[in-house]
Every structure is written in C-alpha cells, then in structure tokens.
Amino acid sequence: MILLLPKKTLNNIPVPKLFLISFLLLSIFQTPPCLAKKAERSFDLGMSVEPYRWVGARLKNLKKGTLLKIDIKINGHAKFFLLNSANYANFPSADPIPLFSAKVQDKLFFSVSIPSSENYYLVIDNRQGKQKVSFKIHLDASLDLSTTKAISSAKNGALINRQLSTLSTSLRKALIFNQLDIKLVKCGKPNAYSDETTVYLCIEYVKKLRQQFSDKSKIQHVLFFTLMHEIGHVLLRQWDYPFYDNEEVADEFASVIFIMFNQRKIIETQAKVFANIPSDPEYKVKQKKDSRHPISIQRARNLKRWLNDSSLLKKWQSIFIPHMQTAFLKRIIKQNPSWANKTLTNEEINHRQSSDQ
C-alpha cells in the first residue's frame, strides 16, 4: 500500500517534492518468508576497477517482481549504479536514470524489486577515483511465485529506492548544501545514524517499526522524522553550526522544516510515540553509559513546545536564510509568510546579486 502525503502549501509557497512523495519503506518486508512460495538463487562477483575507469556486470533475465538483495564490500569508495538495458547502453555518455544508485565507501547493503523483466547491469564507477579499488558483491535473488503480490512488491520496492536516491535532490530545491547521501543499510540492530555527508537508515529499524505499529501512516511519519533528524546533523555540520551534534538541536531542526512546510502532523505523531516510551529503562541505560539523547518523554515535551512556539521559525531564519536557494528566497519575498524575516531575506538576495556582478 502506498500512502501519499497531501499536497499542502504555506502561504502559497509550493512544497518541495520531498513532502509530496510516498515514503514507506514497507514493501521490502511485506510478505513473511514462511508464507511465500519463492524461486531463489545466489551468486558472487569480484573484480577490480582502475582509477578513471568503470566496469559493468550483466544480470541476465531478471524477472519482473524479483527481489534483489545486494551486499557490497569495497576497499575504498566508488559510485554504484543498478541500470536497465536502455540506461546501460547510453552509459556514461548520458546521465543514467538508475533503479538504484549510491556512493559506496567500505560497504553497502540494499534491496530492490525489479520492475520489468529484462537484463540489468551493476556498474562500479571509479572515474573520479585516483586509486584502484577492489570489491566483492554478493547477490540474492528471489521471486515470489504468487504473481499479484510479486508485482505489487516490485512496484513499491522500485518506488522506494527511487525516493531514497532522490531525497537529497528534493531537499536541494530549497536548501544549499555540499553533499547528502541517504542509504538503506543492514546494521545488525535497529538504528539510524549519520556522518559528514551520509544518513544511514537501518533495515532493522524499519522492521522494528513494522512490528511495533500497525498504522502505516504512523510508521511513515516516524521514518520521516528520523531521517530529517539525521539530515539536520549533516546539514548543520556542513553549515558550520557549532551545535550540529546536539540531539535536541537536530530534533528542533527537523521540527522547523516540517512546520515550515505545513507537515505538523509528522511532529505530532513523533511526539506521541516518544511520550509512550517508558522512562525507567532509559534511565537505567543512562546510568550504565553516557547517551547524548535526552530521554524520550523530554523529547516529546520539546516537540509539543515547538509546535506551539510562534517564534520558532523566526529564530531559525538567521541559520536557514544564508543556506536557502535564491529562487526559494525570492518566493518567500513574493509570498511573505508570517514567519519570514523579510529584511534578512532581502539582504541575502542583494548580497548574492552584488557578488555575481
């Protein structure tokens, strides 16, 4: 099932594509393995790629609805693409429209459902690298022989992976930043985390949410908030904000983004989830080891307070405005939402125009 967030605007400011897409990482775990009749096969690839070069490997005759799980280990970093035949034929002269793409460093795990029956190609792109890289890839392919479920899963899985690979592109329509990659990975435990440029969403975390909640819209909202919290760490770090690693600041960043684009329901849902987490186990964990996260009940109180704080967005304008796209700043001036600092926005636009002359 795909749930689309309603199209909303804030004082007629169009919402970036980020908030119009479905974002349910659910179909990957749609059918319990014990109930599904499947055809399965596994295979391994291993090779090296010289600097300034790329290699491709053909996956022959993948059937529509095949669930492909790919585990990559590489001694360095390179770009990875999963392409259909048409895109591979034009690679690298034309920018590909991949079924999945990511920048791989050390290791990566992901799964994707095949949308149509044909040959597919794994591409390891080291054209921007200066050193030879070697990699090993393990692939598991399984086809659900119950056709209707397989086709549904394939469509949902393909959509999910496209959304993951374009999420940073959607954010870039409003904000300026250097690099932001988002990866679905196998972690060994339920978690989500980030480094200087990348947000890692663990498959185990998504599975845990599916087990915990039956309401798919609730799962969607929690996933959105989790991702935006981690994105806050990445972007604030790139913007040289001194408290980028503060967990409450990252929660506040996420809240500002969602309020700015009229997605308050996401914050309300996350606040309720936090409020229902028992505090005693969290206190015991804090007694044993240091944790930068405040306890969940405090995070819930923070979210509720920010939802009712009319000055919250105004307070953050000095942080956001220097890192907003010029077209977005001009849209703010034109629509003049109540939270906008019009003086600061005009000053930023004028500064950019004078710098370009």
Domains and CATH numbers, the chain: 29-151 (2.60.120.680), 173-307 (no CATH), 312-351 (no CATH)
Distance, first Cα to last Cα, the chain: 51
Query: Which phi-psi region, left, alpha or beta, contains residue 154 (left: φ > 0; alpha: ψ -120 to 50)?
Result: alpha
- CB neighbours of 311 closer than 8 A, spacing ≥ 6? none
User: Under a CB-based contact definition with an 8 Å cutoff, are residues 157 and 112 in contact?
Assistant: yes
According to the model, what pLDDT value does residue 158 have?
Answer: 47
Confidence at residue 135, expressed as pLDDT on a 0 to 100 scale? 86
Weakest-pLDDT range from 160-174, 234-248, 294-308, 316-330: 160-174
With CA atoms as reference, report the closest residue to 133 among 143, 141, 142, 125.
125
Mean pLDDT of 239-254: 94
Segment 33-42, tens digit of pLDDT: 333 455 677 7
Bridge partners, 225 (sequence order) = none
| pLDDT (mean) for 295-301 | 93
- pLDDT above 60 for 218: yes
Burial of 311 (0-12, 13-18, 19+ CB in 10 A): exposed
